[in-house]
Amino acid sequence: MNDHKKRVVILGGGTAGWITANLMATHWKDKGFDITLVESPDIGIIGVGEGSTPPLKGFMDVIGVKESEWMPECNATYKVGITFKDWSTKPGFTEYVHPFLAQPDQFTAPAFFHNSFLRRKGVDLEGHPDHFFLATEMIRQKLAPVTPENFPFEIAYGYHFDSGLLGKFLARVAEKKGVKYKSATVTDVLLDTQGNIDCLKTAEGETLKADLYVDSSGFRGQLIQQALKVPFQSCAESLFNDSAVVFATEQEESYAPHTISTALKYGWAWKIPLTNRNGNGYVYSSRFVDDDKAETEFRQHLGLLDSDVEARRLKFKVGRVEQHWAKNCLAVGLSQGFIEPLEATALDMVQETVTRFIEAYNNGNYTDKYRKEFNDRISGRFDAVRDYIVCHYRITSRSDSDYWIANGSNEKISPSLRAILMSWMAGKNITDELLDQKLDVYFPNVSWNCLLTGKGIYPPQEQLRPGNELANKYKMEDIHEFIRRCALNFKSHQEQLQLLRQ
């Protein structure tokens, strides 16, 4: 894409399309870019993702949007982590939090690593991650992660939101930045003699030409997969889930800043608090249960067996394309891939993909060499997320259905994940192994340790022996008191959300 070629067409809206439009309009401001987003009025948006990881805050900062501007409009709440319930049957480990990290955790995390490492060696020390991180206490007390001026520490946090409302909000922001919107249905994609996309034909009789095409068309992958024939690498052998059923339920009077993931018989259920409702979904595998039975199980879980609340059913495929940037096309969102929503990584993948592409273009690196580096980087992040998600299932101790038995005995996992699990079971420090396997490019060492310790991957309690003075160098009462004092600095979740509306 030479300097005189500055036309961009984004095919598809939704949150992914509008995140892309905003990032490009912001980074390429005053550089003569003509950015158009084309969205079909006849094709619906998946839009079930209602949670994020901390990088979404950075995105809002980049495009110049304050929390007070977007959160009330999108019924948004704060998120400091994910609580996993009933994923493990091991006593004392049936529930744990995967925390977003806070700066004060640097004072308590060493104790977590020390205790959990020695517990794997058979020493009887507290090794459950919930005792060591501020996020867990904030969830327990239902506190908002917005730091006051007198508390000089940063806290990483994400959000929960109505994805439909967020997409509409981002559309308005993008249009103010000069992005053009066109309502049209693309029916044909024409290629030139070099195999690049030449133009798009619409049902309305228009021809859309650009120098760069962004595929945000969802699972269809209308440009990257259908037109350019970029192969799709399925993860179905290691991630069995392919379906979801979704309900909205009434909100409670108060709610904690976390997503809840509860393991059920054939998958897991999310519960996401918004200011006006709860978002609920059951992610399951159609190989092990039919849709009607899954919906009945989920209704029972929610106490809705006798309710006429309508369910929404979804199908999805897990995996990624082999190339996220092919020819003159960049794939974002579901068109580039999807690793199920267990850790709410989808929007961060969009941000990373678009940001890295913009960097490559700004550096003049619109060449085959840099395209390969870009694709390897993005694929590496997808694969690291895949391994982390697969690990949730592979280390399960549940055996109450064929689904969980198959997950717990599945040998079709990546060599990189196998190396991590072997290292852990051998009692080794997995830090170096994570680096060697390039699995720390998304989830850091502490996240992997929380996952494995939170599910109780330790020797049985009866095999543990008391530790000596050196082993017991960290006093749990001191750690608990430090975390308790840190938590005194924060407002309640409800109070902070109300302040945003003033």
14 annotated ligand binder: yes
Q: Pairing mode, if any, of strands 81-85 and 259-264?
A: parallel
343 annotated to bind ligand: yes
Taking 3-state DSSP, the helix, strand and coil percentages for the chain, each rounded to the nearest 5, stand at: 40, 20, 40
In contact, 235 and 319? CB cutoff 8 Å = yes
Residue 330 assigned to a binding site: no
Which residues carry out catalysis?
Answer: 79
d(CA 473, CA 351): 42
For 275-343, the three-class secondary structure string (H helix, E strand, C coil) is: CCCEEEEEEECCCCCCHHHHHHHHHHHHCCCCCCCCCEEEECCCEEECCCEECCEEECHHHCEECCHHH
Contact criterion met (CB below 8 Å) for 451 and 97: no
**327 is known to lie in a ligand binding site:** no
Residue 15 counted as an annotated binding residue: yes
Q: Is 186 annotated as a binding residue?
A: yes
First vs last C-alpha separation in the chain: 46
Which has the closest alpha carbon to 360: 322, 330, 321?
A: 330
In Å, how far are 305, 359, 372 from 377, measured between CA atoms? 46, 13, 8
Name residue 319's amino acid: G
User: Known binding site: residues?
Assistant: 13-16, 79, 186, 334, 343
Q: Which residues sit in the known binding site for 7-chloro-L-tryptophan?
A: 79
Annotated binding site for FAD: 13-16, 186, 334
Annotated binding-site positions for L-tryptophan: 343
